[in-house]
Amino acid sequence: MIAESLAGRDLISLLDFSPGEIRALLTLAAEVKANPGHFAKALEGKTLFLYFEKPSLRTRVTFEAGMTQLGGHAIYYSASDGKIGVRESVEDVARNLERWVDAAMCRTFSHELVADLARLSGIPVINGLTDRLHPCQALADFMTMQEVEEDLAGKRLAYVGDGNNVAHSLMEAGAKLGVHVTIVTPEGFAPSEEVVRACREAAGETGARIAVGTDLSLVEGADAVYTDVWASMGQESEAEERRRIFLPYQVNAALMRRAGPDAVFMHCLPAHRGDEVTDEVADSPQSVIFEQAENRLHAQKAVLLALIGAA
């Protein structure tokens, strides 16, 4: 049972979960989406703490709405209210939170901060995004891809752009689910070699292939083409230079034609239209970007149900 394996666990990296556990989360997310009323009081009396160093439309709204729709409550706390590790030590914050709330979601720059909170507290800690990983996004992405493809094993996802936190979590999830993930970046912007090695090791269990390169021909035959902004939060000063370097890697109609004939277009949003993707692609019938955004709600509700122990 999913509750037996995941209750009380943290979600920091998807590599910490077995393929069966990730598939169970996706199955639960589909059940939540299909029958929301069935789970309307599942987290009644439960409280989720939301810590934000980086603002986000999707992360904040989907976690707050998710807790409300499950009968629970969410408390929003931003770095401007008091940055964890600055105003008060990480250890002291962790020991306070475990006495007040049932789980914490953190969206931060430092990956180590989220990992430390998870290590030091006795409640589930959820990685809502760090500079290293974005596991909640990847769960919603593969939920969306599964809705289109049904069986994920053996499917091909090509990510084009910066080898960032989203790229890392797509590789992690793909490795666990048997999806072949290819990361295509300009020279010098490849994903972390450490993350790539870990994902390739995990892929040995499922037969997934993890590939990294700079040649856009690697998109050929893909079932999904994915991109993200070229300059993430904290990289604003690099935006113009990155635009010059990344422009040949724009996802446009010509690039989509190089993918499989039924390939979908994916983006975690927000999108800088005209940069990493054209309007023609973002608004095309191939685009599932708003389905991904919707599925953030359902996938995160599944995570909350499983980790808090109501599933």
Q: Give me the active site residues, please.
A: 107, 134, 137, 228, 268, 296
DSSP state of 17: S
Q: Strand locations in 54-102, DSSP E?
A: 73-78
Contact at 8 Å (CB) between 183 and 211?
yes
| Closest-CA residue to 296 (of 67, 73, 145, 137) | 137
Distance in angstroms (rounded) separating the CA atoms of residues 174 and 149: 14
Question: What is the side-by-side strand order in the sheet with 125-129?
Answer: 73-78, 47-52, 103-107, 125-129
Residues 46-80: b if buried by 16+ CB within 10 A, e if exposed: bbbbbbbbbebebbbebbbebbebbebbbeebebe
Q: What's the token pair of residue 291? A: 């389905």
